[in-house]
């Protein structure tokens, strides 16, 4: 026996591949069925279609469902994979998955494909899946499962444990048991831990927790994630507006949501529309990045035309051009910093609790401090370098003003967007950077033109 | 009875505050003890020190420990809060917390304060906490707890359930039971679900899972997070190099790790050293941002001095200055995009599985495509706007070359850093942006100086 095996040793791929080429069903199953579903999925995802079809003969639809739920492949590949199975086999597999995961798979298929599988499936399973299919993406409803354990309050721990044992094999989690009234309304929750430590004759109603943390079916999945994180829950009940228990969200799905949303905010800060580009070719990567780049190109042309208006100033004092990237760059950097603080604060919910006015005042103060320090530093350096007092003064004042405006804009823009119910992360880094380029150049050349007489000797 | 209460109604603050000012212990406890620990913590965190001291008389150390573990306050506030308690009370509270959480609190105190609490505490608890205190930050050991349930393999489900019932009240999770040999080495794991659905006389050794997913105590907490996410675990066992079971990491702590790491990557992309600045004043916010800004200021001065070398070129063709922000900005934007893709790929582990050379080739291809398209667009616009064919050509070629170099650099730099075991997120957005400013300006003015004769009419 071997323990604590290294990451790469967890799957003995050679045995699996050898047994497949020998078509040795027993040898394959001996090894494969001992693997964790994640490792089964890892192995399966690396196979060619022809080998996958072999696997369908080795495994029952239920056994396939077990790892199909954690498969990590491109969304577009599901269509072909399902088409490679016998329709009845595919439908059985879908029926054997937890309903929320079956819905995830079905959402990646064509409408007719979905309809045909639902027709083959037994009525009850089909009904359950149909019920989940119509929830909008990114809502609590879209990530919930209907396989939970619900009991009535008016019974003992003994009888509750009896129900639990019966439902355990098909429930997605048995670690929370939900208590509902005759109309299916959620009235309490009890953890399996509390059930286990209570004596058999205790009444459920005496030990259930009735200040339930629940989420409405139409709520944003991010809110569900926040609640589960704050309350350290393993599952969160999902209810309709009349408090009927519709389903539960389990913590493993919430971890995926948190990962997704973090990737999403991150990619928007970087100005990439979709980070999911790891295995694509350069054309699809370029296609995802070009929209932003072209918008920014035209904004940049606008910046250029602004500088063009100061061509007269420039041709008289060409040294002015030297400091353009410095001033615009610094404004862009401070703007991105304060944008990131605000967007992340909104995303984690920290900002909800904080006074918005206080944040704006804080950012204004921060911009003033960083602006003054950087401005003074630059003035001194420029004076020492070029020996021109007024030029140093001009660049310093421009830095001060630009940093102040950029820092303030970086926090104001996402706050205003949040108020207008627009995802503040849309005000991505490159966008704020380019906007701040424009303001800082206006400030710099505006001041230079105004005080031209001091610059020309 | 009221269900599904609104977020704001969960805590009836008025009752709590009224009962505190009346010093009505019973009324306070009636309301407070019915709250979820998270809500208790939310209420407590808003109180002044004088009211907090009142609470210590209302609640036992154990009751305080219950919500103190989920408190969200500034690290620097723990010192004063603990100092506000009777030392014996504070030590009792720490002893009643899960060991990993007690360690979290102790890590925020002075060394003498820690030593004094450990002296007052009973020996067993103190020993447990001391054992955890020496693990380095960000390792699996630093976030694990020692309150797990371990049994031996050679017994029935019935006797295992008996042990579990006894240990349930003090274990951090009872949903996985770990099977160890006589030397405390991890040999198997069994979920409570499997225990519950198995018949009482089944032997543990027959139903335990022996291809255990575990993590080494010195491993990075990010690796622990990745494993728990991939394998959908509620708890992950932590072992030493001889596979002795030392502790477990629970999913709620892993969610915090995922959140932290995401914030961390995000703030580095934005060039803020620490995002945890929500409630600070402008001076501390400025202090956190200034280091980056000053580094970037000097890099910017370097860029300025580079342009200064081309002052001769500039004074002859002042129109050249107009396009500086456009070219530098576009290079910065593409660099940030490809940096973000690479950093995120490394963070999520996706890149481990992918051929690095393939990523670099993909990025080179992407840079060539986006560069060509943007370059052609710019050439046309500049030609139409200024009527100068060669100027348009020059700006277009510069954009093409800059975008190609910047895209490539954005992926090369983090990959090289990752290889050198430096956190690739350190190559933050503003840094890459400034580096790309410099190369793009060299390209632009280099080409302009080379082909000066075509530009001067």
Give how far A456 is from chain B: nearest CA, Å: 14
Among B110, B134, B158, residue at a domain's last position:
B134
Give how far B235 is from chain A: nearest CA, Å: 11
How far apart CA B349 and CA B326 sit, in angstroms, is: 35
Does residue B237 sit in helix, strand or coil? strand
Give how far A210 is from chain B: nearest CA, Å: 8
Residues of chain B contacting residue A351, judged by C-beta atoms under 8 Å apart:
278
Question: Same domain, yes or no, for B205 and B332?
Answer: no
Q: Tell me, yes or no, whether A20 lies in a domain.
A: yes
Q: Tell me, yes or no, whether B257 lies in a domain.
A: no
Question: Same domain, yes or no, for B292 and B429?
Answer: yes
> B300 vs A326: CB contact, 8 Å cut-off?
yes
A60 compared with B295, residue with greater pLDDT: A60
> A282 vs B320: CB contact, 8 Å cut-off?
no
Degrees (nearest 5) of the Cα angle B173, B174, B178? 100
Lowest mean pLDDT among A202-216, B369-383, B424-438: B424-438
How far apart CA B157 and CA B202 sit, in angstroms, is: 6
How far apart CA B168 and CA B61 sit, in angstroms, is: 20
Place of tokens 């394998």: B231
Taking residues B216-230, what's their average pLDDT?
91
Considering CB atoms only, which of B169, B324, B430 is closest to A321? B324
pLDDT band at B168 (very low <50, low <70, confident <90, very high): confident
Q: Tell me, yes or no, whether B360 lies in a domain.
A: yes
Task: Return the pLDDT at B5.
Answer: 40
Question: Same domain, yes or no, for A126 and A155?
Answer: no
B211 CB near a chain A CB, below 8 Å? yes
Positions of chain A with pLDDT under 50: 1-8, 276
pLDDT at B158 over 60: yes
How many folded domains does chain A comprise? 3
pLDDT band at B434 (very low <50, low <70, confident <90, very high): confident
Q: Which tens digits make up the pLDDT trace of B86-128?
A: 999 999 999 999 888 888 889 888 888 888 899 988 888 888 8
How far apart CA A11 and CA A9 sit, in angstroms, is: 5
B365 CB near a chain A CB, below 8 Å? yes
Task: Return the pLDDT at B337.
Answer: 83
Considering CB atoms only, which of B193, B196, B325 is closest to A303? B325
> B262 vs A262: CB contact, 8 Å cut-off?
yes
- Closest Cα to residue A31, out of A14, A9, A10, A16? A16
Nearest residue of B to residue A188, measured between CA atoms: B3
Other Cβ atoms within 10 Å of B385 Cβ, number: 14
Give how far B398 is from chain A: nearest CA, Å: 13
Question: Same domain, yes or no, for B154 and B122?
Answer: no
pLDDT at B278 over 90: no
CATH number at residue A224: 3.10.580.10
Question: Same domain, yes or no, for A451 and A363?
Answer: yes
pLDDT at B354 over 70: no
Instruction: Give the tokens for residue B205.
Output: 């050794």
Question: Same domain, yes or no, for B65 and B160?
Answer: no
Task: Return the pLDDT at A4.
Answer: 39
Taking residues B293-307, what's their average pLDDT?
85
Nearest residue of A to residue B323, measured between CA atoms: A304
How far apart CA A353 and CA B146 sit, in angstroms, is: 34
Task: Return the pLDDT at A424.
Answer: 65
Question: Same domain, yes or no, for A429 and A292?
Answer: yes
How far apart CA B171 and CA B169 sit, in angstroms, is: 6
Q: What is the DSSP string of B183-216?
A: T-BEEEEEEHHHHHHS-TT-BHHHH-B-S---EE
A362 CB near a chain B CB, below 8 Å? yes
Question: Same domain, yes or no, for B242 and B210?
Answer: yes
Taking residues B204-213, what's their average pLDDT?
90
B263 CB near a chain A CB, below 8 Å? yes
CATH number at residue B327: 1.10.357.20
B410 CB near a chain A CB, below 8 Å? no
How far apart CA A269 and CA A88 sit, in angstroms, is: 45
Task: Return the pLDDT at B133.
Answer: 85
Other Cβ atoms within 10 Å of A281 Cβ, number: 14
Question: Same domain, yes or no, for B183 and B89?
Answer: no
Q: Which tens digits make up the pLDDT trace of A334-373?
A: 888 888 888 877 777 776 656 778 888 888 888 999 999 9
Q: Tell me, yes or no, whether A336 lies in a domain.
A: yes
Considering CB atoms only, which of B161, B322, B429 is closest to A311? B322
Instruction: Give the tokens for residue A1.
Output: 């026996």
Cα A65 to chain centroid distance, Å, stands at 25
Residues of chain A contacting residue B351, judged by C-beta atoms under 8 Å apart:
278
Q: State the helix-helix crossing angle for A61-68 and A37-45, rounded to 10 degrees.
A: 90
Question: Same domain, yes or no, for A98 and A164?
Answer: no
Q: Tell me, yes or no, whether A233 lies in a domain.
A: yes
> B4 vs A330: CB contact, 8 Å cut-off?
no
* Burial of A402 (C-beta count, 10 Å sphere; 0-12/13-18/19+): buried
Question: Same domain, yes or no, for B310 and B203?
Answer: no
Sorted by sequence, the CB contacts under 8 Å of residue A211 that are 6+ apart come out as B5, B10, B34, B35, B36
pLDDT at B4 over 70: no
- For chain A, the straight-line distance linking the first and the last C-alpha, in angstroms and rounded, comes to 87
pLDDT at B294 over 90: no
How far apart CA A397 and CA A375 sit, in angstroms, is: 6
- Show the 3-state SS of chain A: CCCCCCHHHCCCHHHHHHHHHCCCHHHHHHHHCCCCHHHHHHHHHCCCHHHHHHHHHHCCHHHHHHHHCCCCCCCCHHHHHHHCCCHHHHHHHHHHCCHHHHHHHHCCCCHHHHHHHHHHCCHHHHHHHHHHHCCCCCEHHHHCECCCCEECCCCEHHHHHHHHHHHCCCCCCCCEEEEECCCCEEEEEEEHHHHHHCCCCCEHHHHCECCCCCEECCCEHHHHHHHHHHCCCCEEEEECCCCEEEEEEEHHHHHHHHHHHHHHHHHHHHCCCCCCCCCCCHHHHHHHHHHHHHHHHHHHHHHHHHHHHCHHHHHHCHHHHHHHHHHHHHHHHHHHHHHHHHHHHHHHCHHHHCCHHHHHHHHHHHHHHHHHHHHHHHHHHHHHHHCCHHHHHHHHHHHHHHHHHHHHHHHHHHHHHHHCCCCHHHCCHHHHHHHHHHHHHHHHHHHHHHCHHHHCC
Domain that holds residue B207: 150-251
B380 CB near a chain A CB, below 8 Å? no
Q: Tell me, yes or no, whether B139 lies in a domain.
A: no
Residues of chain A contacting residue B328, judged by C-beta atoms under 8 Å apart:
325, 328-329
Among B230, B251, B272, residue at a domain's last position:
B251
Instruction: State percent of chain B over pLDDT 70.
Output: 92
CATH number at residue A105: 1.25.60.10
> A341 vs B275: CB contact, 8 Å cut-off?
yes
Give how far B413 is from chain A: nearest CA, Å: 16
A370 CB near a chain B CB, below 8 Å? yes
> B210 vs A3: CB contact, 8 Å cut-off?
yes
Q: What are phi and psi of A255, to 5 degrees?
A: -60, -40
Taking residues B366-383, what's their average pLDDT?
92
Considering CB atoms only, which of B308, B315, B344 is closest to A266? B344
Q: Assign residue A421 a region: left if phi > 0, alpha if psi is -120 to 50, beta otherwise?
A: left
The sheet with strand A150-151 has its strands ordered as A150-151, A176-180, A186-191
Task: Return the pLDDT at A273.
Answer: 61
State the pairing for strand pair B235-239/B245-250.
antiparallel
Instruction: Give the tokens for residue B422.
Output: 């430096």
Q: What is the ipTM of this complex?
A: 0.76
Residues of chain B contacting residue A290, judged by C-beta atoms under 8 Å apart:
370, 373
> B321 vs A334: CB contact, 8 Å cut-off?
no
Q: What are phi and psi of B136, to 5 degrees?
A: -70, 150
Question: Same domain, yes or no, for A244 and A359?
Answer: no
Among A81, A102, A134, residue at a domain's last position:
A134
pLDDT at B7 over 70: no
Task: Return the pLDDT at A437.
Answer: 86
Give how far A119 is from chain B: nearest CA, Å: 31
Instruction: State percent of chain B over pLDDT 90.
Output: 30
Yes or no: say if A164 and A192 are a contact pair by the CB < 8 Å rule. yes
Q: Tell me, yes or no, whether A397 lies in a domain.
A: yes
A452 compared with B64, residue with greater pLDDT: B64
Give how far A382 is from chain B: nearest CA, Å: 9
A422 CB near a chain B CB, below 8 Å? no
Task: Return the pLDDT at B426.
Answer: 60
Quote the mean pLDDT of chain B.
Answer: 85
Yes or no: say if B235 and B251 are a contact pair by the CB < 8 Å rule. yes
Residues of chain A contacting residue B348, judged by C-beta atoms under 8 Å apart:
259, 263
Considering CB atoms only, which of B168, B304, B433 is closest to A196? B168
């Amino acid at each position: 026996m071997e323990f604590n095996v290294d990451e790469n040793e967890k799957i003995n791929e050679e045995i699996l591949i050898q047994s497949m080429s020998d078509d040795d069903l027993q040898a394959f199953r001996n090894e494969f069925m001992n693997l964790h579903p994640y490792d089964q999925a890892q192995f399966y995802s690396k196979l060619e279609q022809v080998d996958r079809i072999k696997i369908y003969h080795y495994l029952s639809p239920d056994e396939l469902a077990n790892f199909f739920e954690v498969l990590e492949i491109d969304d577009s590949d599901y269509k072909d994979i399902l088409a490679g199975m016998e329709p009845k086999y595919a439908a059985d597999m879908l029926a054997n998955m937890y309903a929320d995961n079956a819905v995830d798979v079905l959402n990646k298929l064509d409408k007719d494909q979905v309809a045909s599988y639902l027709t083959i499936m037994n009525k009850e399973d089909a009904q359950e899946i149909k019920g989940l299919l119509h929830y909008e993406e990114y809502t609590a409803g879209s990530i919930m499962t209907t396989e939970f354990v619900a009991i009535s309050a008016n019974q003992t721990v003994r009888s509750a444990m009896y129900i639990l044992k019966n439902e355990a094999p098909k429930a997605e989690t048995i670690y929370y048991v939900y208590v509902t009234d005759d109309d299916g309304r959620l009235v309490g929750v009890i953890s399996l831990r509390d059930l286990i430590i209570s004596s058999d004759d205790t009444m459920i109603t005496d030990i259930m927790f009735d200040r339930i943390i629940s989420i409405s079916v139409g709520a944003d999945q991010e809110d569900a994630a926040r609640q589960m994180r704050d309350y350290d829950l393993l599952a969160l009940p999902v209810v309709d507006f009349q408090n009927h228990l519709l389903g539960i969200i389990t913590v493993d799905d919430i971890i995926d949501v948190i990962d997704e949303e973090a990737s999403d905010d991150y990619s928007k800060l970087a100005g990439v529309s979709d980070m999911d580009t790891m295995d694509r070719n350069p054309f699809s990567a370029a296609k995802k990045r070009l929209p932003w780049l072209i918008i920014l190109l035209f904004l940049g042309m606008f910046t250029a035309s602004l500088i063009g208006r100061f061509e007269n100033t420039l041709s008289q004092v060409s040294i002015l051009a030297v400091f353009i990237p410095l001033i615009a760059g610094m404004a862009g950097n401070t703007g991105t910093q304060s944008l990131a603080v605000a967007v992340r604060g909104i995303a984690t919910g920290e900002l909800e609790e904080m006074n918005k006015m206080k944040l704006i005042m804080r950012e204004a103060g921060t911009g003033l401090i960083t602006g003054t320090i950087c401005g003074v530093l630059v003035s001194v350096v420029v004076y020492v370098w070029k020996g021109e007092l007024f030029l140093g003064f001009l660049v310093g004042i421009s830095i001060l003003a630009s940093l102040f405006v950029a820092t303030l804009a970086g926090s104001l823009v996402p706050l205003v967007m949040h108020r207008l119910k627009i995802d503040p992360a849309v005000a991505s880094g490159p966008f704020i950077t380019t906007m701040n380029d424009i303001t800082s150049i206006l400030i710099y050349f505006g001041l230079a033109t105004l005080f031209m007489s001091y610059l020309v000797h």
